[in-house]
Structure 1
Amino acid sequence: MSATPLHSPAGGRRISMPDVARLAGVSAQTVSRVSSGSPGVAEATRQQVIAAMNELGYRPNSAARALKRGSFRTIGVILFSLSSTGNARTLEAIALRAAEEDYAVALIPVSTPTQAGMRGAFSRLNELAVDAVIVIMEIHLLDAGTMFLPPGVHAVVVDSDASDDYTVIDSDQANGSRMAVEHLLSLGHQTVWHMAGPEESFASERRITAWRTTLAAHGCTEPPLLRGDWSADSGYEAGLSLADSDCTAVFVSNDQMALGVLRAFHERGIRVPQDVSVVGFDDIPDSSSFSPPLTTVHQDFAAVGRRCVDKALKQMRENSTEPGRELVPTRLIVRESTAGASGARSRT
Structure 2
Amino acid sequence: MAVVPVELGGRSYEVRIGKDLLRDAARQCAPLLRKSSVPIVTDANVARRWREPVEASFAREGVEPHWLVLDPGEAAKSWENLQRVTDWLLAEQVERGDHVLALGGGVIGDLVGFAAAILKRGCGFIQLPTTLLAQVDSSVGGKTAINTGAGKNLIGAFHQPSLVLADLGALATLPDREMRAGYAEVLKYGVLGDAPFFDWLSAHGVEVLAREEGSLEHAVATSVAAKARIVAEDERETADRRALLNLGHTFGHALEAETGFSDRLLHGEAVALGMVLAARYSARRGEISDADAERVTRAVNAAGLPSEITALGLDCDGRRLAEHMLHDKKMDAGTLPFVLLRAIGDAYVARDVELADITEFLNGELRAD
Q: Decide: shared fold, TM above 0.5.
A: no
Larger Rg: 1
TM-score by length of 2: 0.31
